[in-house]
């Protein structure tokens, strides 16, 4: 399967930004700008914005993602949200294993895998983030590190599960730094991730998998990155908070 047969997905990760009233404004500005998108468009919103995001995107081509979920269905896990809470709220996707969660909230390969399997079991589609630090890149261990992250994240998942999995390659050194990976650097790791998935499953599963790049993707560099064979979409932080910039990235992915 070639790139043009895979689902192109542009997802905004709003991180801890926008109150519900601010979210309303942003979504209302965004919807008309992306209504003719030729790719899947997702907004990854804070939990408190889910209700307004689901309501406002109803009947539109924009899908709603949460930014995390727990692996248990319910219980004494103060501050956590279960997959079923998300599906009942109308959420379709969940972003898991973001480097900020790994770095600041003690998320591990094991908990990312548990959360992802629980999310899939509840009927959510998952966007699983992987990526190396600057030190790891400089040490020449990018592939071994990212490969291990992918293998751990997908442990116990079937080929059928993979239909509802997107992998986002987000080099930590490129996140929020304005320092984007070059088209070649990003494509090289995305291609490697596809090879890892082919080894774990088969060529067919790997070829059908949507792999996104994330890390300072913006209106100016999106087209170049998205033109690369193994980069099927983007996970966008800062630029997803600016409707025109996010729409420009969506337009670049729709070509």
Closest CA to 83 of 195, 186, 74, 51: 74
Q: Which residue is nearest to ligand 13P (CB)?
A: 237
If the CB atoms of residues 83 and 215 are measured against ligand 13P, the closer one turns out to be 215
User: Minimum distance from CB of 95 to ligand 13P (Å)?
Assistant: 7
User: Minimum distance from CB of 58 to ligand 13P (Å)?
Assistant: 25
List interacting residues with ligand 13P (CB under 6 A): 13, 98, 170, 175-176, 214-217, 235-239
Catalytic annotation on 170?
A: yes
* Residue with token string 């914005």: 49
Catalytic annotation on 70?
A: no
The two tokens of residue 160 are 């059928």
CA distance 41 to 61: 7
User: Minimum distance from CB of 199 to ligand 13P (Å)?
Assistant: 26
CA distance 114 to 105: 15
CA distance 86 to 116: 13
Q: Which of 63, 70, 98, 100 is catalytic?
A: 98
If the CB atoms of residues 51 and 219 are measured against ligand 13P, the closer one turns out to be 219
Beta-bridge partners for 233: 9, 212
CA distance 142 to 119: 27
CA distance 53 to 245: 19
If the CB atoms of residues 170 and 230 are measured against ligand 13P, the closer one turns out to be 170
User: Minimum distance from CB of 180 to ligand 13P (Å)?
Assistant: 8
The DSSP-derived string for 158-182 is -HHHHTTEEEEE--GGGTTSS-PPP
Q: Which of 100, 107, 132, 170 is catalytic?
A: 170
The two tokens of residue 198 are 């082919």
User: Minimum distance from CB of 65 to ligand 13P (Å)?
Assistant: 11
Closest CA to 53 of 19, 98, 95: 19
If the CB atoms of residues 123 and 176 are measured against ligand 13P, the closer one turns out to be 176
If the CB atoms of residues 81 and 168 are measured against ligand 13P, the closer one turns out to be 168
* Residues with catalytic roles: 98, 170
């Amino acid at each position: 399967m070639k790139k043009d047969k895979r689902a192109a997905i542009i997802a905004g990760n709003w991180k801890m930004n926008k109150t519900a009233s601010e979210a309303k404004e942003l979504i209302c500005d965004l919807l008309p700008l992306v209504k003719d998108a030729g790719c899947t468009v997702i907004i990854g919103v804070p939990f408190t914005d889910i209700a307004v995001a689901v309501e406002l995107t109803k009947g539109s081509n924009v899908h709603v993602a949460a930014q995390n979920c727990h692996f248990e269905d319910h219980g004494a896990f103060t501050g956590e949200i279960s997959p079923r809470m998300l599906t009942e709220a109308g959420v379709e996707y969940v972003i898991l294993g973001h480097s900020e969660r790994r770095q600041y909230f003690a998320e591990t390969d094991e908990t990312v895998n548990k959360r992802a399997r629980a999310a899939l079991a509840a009927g959510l589609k998952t966007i699983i983030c992987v990526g190396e630090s600057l030190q790891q890149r400089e040490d020449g261990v990018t592939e071994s590190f990212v490969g291990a992250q992918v293998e751990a994240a997908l442990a116990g998942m079937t080929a059928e599960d993979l239909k509802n999995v997107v992998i986002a390659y987000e080099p930590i050194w490129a996140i929020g730094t304005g320092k984007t990976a070059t088209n070649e650097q990003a494509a090289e790791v995305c291609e490697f991730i596809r090879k890892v998935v082919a080894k774990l499953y088969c060529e067919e599963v790997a070829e059908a998998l949507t792999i996104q790049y994330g890390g300072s993707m913006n209106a100016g560099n999106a087209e170049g990155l998205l033109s690369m064979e193994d980069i099927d979409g983007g996970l966008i932080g800062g630029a997803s908070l600016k409707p025109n910039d996010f729409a420009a990235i969506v337009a670049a992915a729709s070509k």
